[in-house]
A and B are shown apart, each in its own frame.
Chain A
Amino acid sequence: MENKRENSPADRKLVEKALRGDTNALNTIIKNTEGLVTQIIFKMISNIEDRKDIAQDVYLKTFQNLNNFKFQSKLSTWIGQITFNTCYSYFEKKKLILPDNIKNEKETYEEPLEIIGNKLIDISTNETEIHVFQKELSDILNTEIDKLLPLYRTLITLYHNEDLSYTEIAQITGLPDGTVKNYLFRARKILRDRILHNYKNELL
């Protein structure tokens, strides 16, 4: 994925209009970034009512500080950063732990790779079976992603669902690029290990 650090001229125009109090521009900013903001909030916060409050809070903060936006990143990345920080403040306020638990997530499972491998090779020739397998995997993934730490869930989503680069994710989360990469590798390994461990029989 390429580095998308630069902002677009469209962002600049939008911000200028919004600063002049143009309601349509404010609305466009929300519509353009709502997907990313929602993803981060849903992955970080589990309480439904708190999600609603945080989403509003994010945009109120955004518009209050819009004149401080220096165009050093894309507008969506900046709003993503505000969203992540707002969620982080929520964790601090609620005395929840975000990054310290990461070590405990490092689990490994031994799995009969030969058996799973044979199954994968068998189904790889049949399109329907692949589709069914992927549907089953998707349901399982939903459950297992929810069990991950909020930070891991967010990183996985930003990278794979929102197609953000490591640099953009680093800007949003305030973590170094290398740490983002390492956490992503670790999160995928945990997911794979858990799925193979918990759903071996269902998938085979």
Chain B
Amino acid sequence: MINKHVDDTNIQRYVLQNLNCDIEIIEHIQHCDICKIKAEQYRLLMAGIKQQEKPSFDFNLSELVLAQIVKPKPKYSLLMIVVYLLVFVGLISFGIVFSQFRISILNVFAGSSVLMITMVFLTVLSISLFQLVDFIKKYQLKMDALNY
């Protein structure tokens, strides 16, 4: 058995590991009142720390974090809003132009035959249809590329 008092580190080790400690240290602590008391103080200290109340936040952390990660999907996408806006502006513009120059516009068609008007109408419709088909094809290709 060692005669010198055991230092704090070894007393703590003794309290934490008890029998896994060096046998000489164990023997000394068991026979020395001063070291035994020190060991008891550390035991009480460690028990006291273990009993400390766990802290907690006064708000729902999970809710707060998830709100920042999972953003709610907007009811209307930005692109749709822009399209509707453009259509609206287009219709308004057409309405203004037509109301201002309606007599002149009607005069253009007044001298033309029904056949002529039908041909112009069909040509405009065909071009619009071709453009629409082309637009849809390009859109499909883009979507396929984005989806691998």
Contact = CB atoms under 8 A, between A and B. Distances in A.
A125 interface: no
Contacts of A137: 44-45, 48
A164 interface: no
Contact of B34 (A113, A134, A141, A195): A113
A26 B61 CA distance: 12
A126 interface: no
B56 to A, nearest CB: 6
Contacts of B9: 185
B148 interface: no
A63 B65 CA distance: 10
Contacts of B55: 38-39, 42
B8 A27 contact: no
Interface size range on B against A: 20 to 34
Contacts of A156: 49
Given A38-B56, A141-B45, A60 B8 contact: no
Contacts, number: 105
A38 B57 contact: yes
Contact of A192 (B34, B45, B47, B52): B45
B37 A30 contact: no
A35 B61 CA distance: 11
Interface string A1-38: 00000000000000000000001001100110011001
Contact of A60 (B36, B48, B69): B69
Given A113-B34, A120-B37, A196-B41, A161 B65 contact: no
Contacts of B107: none
Main secondary structure of the interface of A (DSSP, over half): helix
A120 B47 CA distance: 15
B3 interface: no
A55 B59 CA distance: 11
Contacts of B69: 26, 60, 63
Interface string B1-40: 0000000110010000000000000000000011011101
B52 A141 contact: yes
A60 B68 contact: yes
Contact of A188 (B40, B42, B64, B70): B42
A9 B70 CA distance: 26
Interface of B: 8-9, 12, 33-34, 36-38, 40-42, 44-52, 54-57, 59, 61-62, 64-66, 68-70
Given A38-B54, A185-B8, 13 more contacts: A26-B66, A27-B66, A30-B62, A30-B65, A51-B57, A52-B57, A60-B65, A113-B34, A114-B33, A145-B49, A185-B12, A188-B46, A189-B8
13 contacts: A30-B61, A39-B55, A59-B65, A63-B69, A117-B40, A124-B40, A134-B44, A134-B51, A156-B49, A161-B50, A185-B12, A191-B49, A192-B41
